[in-house]
Structure 1
């Protein structure tokens, strides 16, 4: 397994990590826990070391799953979890909490559920507009001093917020959505800011929540409780327009003798040595395919071709989140 470094002073982790959210939440209920655990174990066998979760996945059940599945493998893996997104009885509502007392409270719950006495990487999941970032990061820095957290990060933050946070305590990683069809980190200077400051950029949803795999043909492919039904990119005419783009990716991948997923992941990996994609899956066969993308090399012409498909303004139809959730993005 190729490795990449989490920041200037952080550990080397697998060049592709594993996003674990879908094993417990959002895409469907009735997840096959046995297959999810088998997928986690297979990831370790393949050399994947970076495992990504959050306290709001479930909520809490995803951390509990990783705590059970990865018990006894702690020294060979890097656990990353997050705090700060708060759920309620409304499945579509989200709150944000970055208060220092909430930081201290949240880490204790995550440590208990993950069955560990320290976290390798602890992220602020979303920036709280009511709490100065200096206060939140200051509380996270205290966790580092206490030995409960080894490295800290922030998710979906603007370049300005990243710089302010990094000045309080070095960030090992910034996590944001990034893929062929989600290019905000290029346009809002986040990717360049991370490169300049020596911060790893962890790309979640590098396969466009499954859309870039080329396996989705209709919104009807989603389970009734799949939250993608509420995302504008997956709805009605937007779905149809975006499907045309994916068909072009599939054709390019076929010419290269690889899957559309592998092509999409290879593109993310090619954006810089500080970029680490964390595709999510709950099945071993997709995990193995994703890991194989580390062996794919893209030519300059292939990268230009992919940029021609997705890079034009307005090429992708629809926002990446529903309107209320978009308001939580600091970027």
Structure 2
């Protein structure tokens, strides 16, 4: 059985068909205890094998997805494609970069953008082309037009095929797209992350024909109901630093949101995770949910979740929960994300 819910990317990649659920690879390597290769490989293969003929699985990686902000995630992918070269053409690889070497600080200088793209390609060792590159964060030291212009030149050189944007506002997305067609924009979207700016980006992307890759659709695992106390997060887990997890008051308050979503899921006969992914995927024809998994069984559950169609009543019920519930804590470390260097 293959997934039924597919879409296309936008911009210069509007001819590329992908599943409505992508596969985030971050926590395969950005963790105190990296996952064994074979476990990761089986998880990746499970999602790709669920795609219909001619439809690619979007894989999402990063130049800095490692405890030392190195290229471990890309090196993992290189080993995967070396072992399973037939999967290279069945996947669409999106990679975030644009940070200083080995540091989570954005640097959109021409020299560093070239360094970043070159480092990504070097880590992949020719096993897979860089289908899409996106700066993980907007560098306020340079205009969006400057950054996208530099990347457009790297496309012409053949160092990457398509350009994406990440964690940007609607105005920045519009400016970037005016310089070079943007294939996809990556933002956080879930039932506990639908801020006004999120809605603006979703609307602008739809208007411009740009795909939205919606990361953390499960609220970084919180909305699954499997995290019931702070101690459920392993030592060294980055979520221990996020306000919604580390603040005891916020944690307990937000569990009510989990309970309300679980009630809707149980009534429909699906898991909370399936409900959240189906909800995110339903937000637009080109909205692609991006959960992460290192487990083949979980990957399949995630991948098929977009095939769970919500009725108007179910969708309304979820929106009623979102609109009537005030989530406590911001998405990251307790400061305005526009003034911080946030990665993930």
The TM-score normalised by the length of structure 1 is 0.92
**2:334 pairs with one of 298, 304, 323:** 323
> Structure 2 unaligned runs (5+)?
none
Q: Please, what is the CA RMSD of the aligned residues? A: 1.9
Q: Is the 8 A contact 1:157 1:329 kept in 2?
A: no
CA distance in 2 between partners of 1:311 and 1:95 (Å): 34
Please state if 1:51 is matched with 2:65: no
Within 2, Cα distance between the matches of 1:264 and 1:31?
25
1:21 aligns with 2:26: yes
SS in 2 for 1:208: coil
1:24-103 equivalences under 5 Å are 24-26=29-31, 28-47=32-51, 49-58=57-66, 59-71=70-82, 72=85, 73-86=87-100, 94-103=104-113
The alignment's TM-score, normalised by the length of structure 2, stands at 0.89
Aligned counterpart, 1:166: 177
State the match for 1:239 in structure 2: 251
Which 10-residue stretch deviates more, 302-311 or 112-121?
112-121
Q: Give yes or no for the alignment of 1:176 onto 2:190.
A: no
Q: 1:272 to 1:105 in 2, by over 3 A?
A: same
What SS does the aligned partner of 1:311 have?
helix
Change in Cα spacing, 1:254 to 1:87, as seen in structure 2 (3 Å) is: farther
SS of residue in 1 equivalent to 2:105: strand
Task: Quote the offset at 1:8 in angstroms.
Answer: 4.6
SS state of the match for residue 319, structure 1? coil
Partner Cα separation in structure 1 for residue 72 and residue 194 of structure 2: 31
Whether contact under 8 Å (1:41, 1:69) holds in the other structure is: no
Distance verdict in 2 for CA 1:163–1:329, change over 3 Å: farther
Matches within 5 A, 1:130-279: 130-184=141-195, 187=198, 189-235=200-246, 236-279=248-291
Shift of 1:295: 1.8
1:281 to 289, 293, 309: 293
Check whether the contact 2:185–2:210 (CA below 8 A) recurs between aligned residues.
yes
User: How far off its partner does 1:86 sit?
Assistant: 3.9
2:221 partner SS: helix
The answer (yes or no) to whether the contact 2:99–2:116 under 8 Å persists in 1 is no
CA distance in 1, matches of 2:198, 2:212: 15
Unpaired runs of at least 5, structure 1: none
Secondary structure of the structure 2 residue equivalent to 1:276 = strand
Q: Residues 73-113 of structure 1: CA distance to partner in whole angstroms, max 9, x if unpaired?
A: 21111111011234767xxxx31111111111111110121
